[in-house]
Amino acid sequence: MQRIVQISDTHLSPTKRHFADNWAPLTDWLAAQAPDLVIHTGDVTVDGADVDEDMRHCRALLDTLGAPVLSIPGNHDVGEAYHPHQPVNEARLGRWRQHLGEDFWIRDIEDWRLIGLNAMLFGSDEAEEKRQLAWLDRQIAEAQGRRLGWFLHRPLFVEAPDEGDMGYWSVPPWPRAHLLDLVRRHEVAFVASGHLHRAHDFTVAGTRYIWGPSSGFVVGPELQPGMAGTTTLGAVSYAFDGRDFTAEIHEISALKTLWIDDVIHEVYPPRAA
């Protein structure tokens, strides 16, 4: 049996320390869990998309966890498609890879192939988006009968697989349609994500969708449209035994409930157009 913990949306920085107090209780909880692997589903940093020191700081913190760590980038780590100030591009991807490793990857455990995807490339029309999709096809084709589980930062959808463009909150419709086709055809068992700072666990067409909660902060209704899930702060634990798996969302009571709404103009000040 292999045990994995998914953490997400830590939003850490050596200079903007608004959410730093939640790192120690998170690491204490992780030590008690003693996982074989930690998977961070993005927004590791406050602003690693532009600030090298945020990346260096977070790399050092992840190295203290006492377990192997695989991470996938969020929008605050590498930017996002067509963003006016922080578009995902070669320079930002290079910074991520230098400090935190590959931005998409596989890990085979038990009778499973776990696939980490860089959701910030979807809809970007960057060459790296095409490379990732070709790579994904190969990893599925070469899985040799292993069951598949995906990890990515931004969820494929928020309300329904066929929803329209949800903008900031999920993968755009046209790349989503292709990814959902892969999910259906290859019977992907679960798709785990972060980004929403909400905890939710539901099943659509036989695939389990798990929204991993943030361990950094929660988001109030004025900044986030009403959506399913809860404003839990915590993590998700997974256990893989042969072809079986379990997943459980944990609320970590020692985490302090911090609201981005209270400090957003300090952490992410508005920029001129």
Long-range contacts of 170-176 (CB under 8 A, 24+ apart): 171/119, 171/122, 171/123, 172/81, 172/122, 172/123, 174/123, 175/122, 175/123, 175/129, 176/122
**SS (HEC) of the chain:** CEEEEEECCCCECCCCCCCHHHHHHHHHHHHHHCCCEEEECCCCECCCCCCHHHHHHHHHHHCCCCCCEEECCCHHHHCECCCCCCECCHHHHHHHHHHHCCCCEEEEECCEEEEECCHHHCCCCCHHHHHHHHHHHHHHHCCCCCEEEEECCCCCCCCCCCCCCCHHHCCCHHHHHHHHHHHHHCCCCEEEECCCCCEEEEEECCEEEEECCCCCCECCCCCCCCCCCECCCEEEEEEEECCEEEEEEEECCCCCCCEHHHCHHHHCCCCCC
In one letter, which amino acid is 223? L
At 272, the pLDDT band (50, 70, 90 cuts) reads: low
pLDDT of residue 136: 98
pLDDT > 90? residue 270: no
Which residues pair with residue 87 across a beta bridge?
80
Q: What percent of the chain has pLDDT over 70?
A: 99
Q: Is the pLDDT of residue 19 over 80?
A: yes
Q: What would the pLDDT profile of 33-68 be if each residue is shown by its tens digit? A: 999 999 999 999 999 999 999 999 999 999 999 999
Work out the mean pLDDT of the chain and round it to a whole number. Answer: 97
Mean pLDDT check: name the lowest of 146-150, 188-192, 223-227, 252-256: 223-227
pLDDT single digits (tens) 83-108: 999 999 999 999 999 999 999 999 99
Percent of the chain with pLDDT over 90: 98
Q: Specify the pLDDT at position 271.
A: 80
CA distances from 97 to 10, 62, 166, 236, 268 (A): 18, 15, 28, 25, 23
pTM of the model: 0.98
